[in-house]
Amino acid sequence: MKGNQYQDYEPDIAKGVLLHREIDRFTDSHEVVSESKKRLSEKYRHYSGVIVDMFYDHFLAKNFSEFHPEDLKTFSENHFKRLVAFQNQMPARAQHMLPYMVANNWLLAYAELKGIHRALSGLSRRTKFDSKMDESIQDLTKHYTLFEQEFRLFFPDIQSHISEFREDLINS
């Protein structure tokens, strides 16, 4: 969602958009994430940030029980039910993608390397230029331990930051 379009939505949805933007802003400016991106930037250029996001999604999904009391399968099923309930309020592109996300339970699939590879390959097909994102699974497997260590350094920082941001957002 570009610009101030979020203001056209009900307050809770608008706050969700702002929260998502803050997650992206914080992630993009974090020094540990920058280290992960640096390892990929020569080959993938500006796509390295998207790739690192996907790698970190993999580590979050794989280790979900460390971060959330609900198991990932239940969490993702409940999450997708809520999204489907609001599908008619989503931008057209999101409405188009949601059935695929639900049918293939993308959140649960991210816990496996083949799920992340499938997602990266799909993203690669949709880019204007030859992003080579489909090849990045090789970089993940080659530097798996290092990427996971970086994720584990980053994740507590974003949890703390977003917890504070949400409180400010709720009280505004």
Domain assignment of residue 70, yes or no: yes
Token representation of residue 43:
């080959």
Residue 77 has pLDDT above 70, yes or no: yes
Domain assignment of residue 91, yes or no: yes
Q: How much is the pTM?
A: 0.91
pLDDT tens-digit profile of 108-153? 999 999 999 999 999 999 888 889 999 999 999 999 999 999 999 9
Domain assignment of residue 15, yes or no: no
Residue 157 has pLDDT above 90, yes or no: yes
Domain assignment of residue 26, yes or no: no
**Mean pLDDT, the chain, whole residue set:** 92
Domain assignment of residue 33, yes or no: no
Domain assignment of residue 72, yes or no: yes
Q: Which residues form the domain of 87?
A: 45-171
Q: Single out the residue of 14, 167, 7 nearest to residue 86, CA to CA.
A: 14
Domain assignment of residue 82, yes or no: yes
Token representation of residue 156:
């507590």
pLDDT tens-digit profile of 27-52? 999 999 999 999 999 999 999 999 99
Map residue 71 onto helix, strand or coil.
coil
State the total domains in the chain.
1
Query: What average pLDDT score do residues 60-81 get?
Result: 96
Token representation of residue 166:
């949400």
Q: What is the pLDDT of residue 1?
A: 63
Query: What average pLDDT score do residues 57-71 get?
Result: 96
Domain assignment of residue 110, yes or no: yes
Highest mean pLDDT of the ranges 23-32, 84-93, 163-172: 23-32
Map residue 86 onto helix, strand or coil.
coil
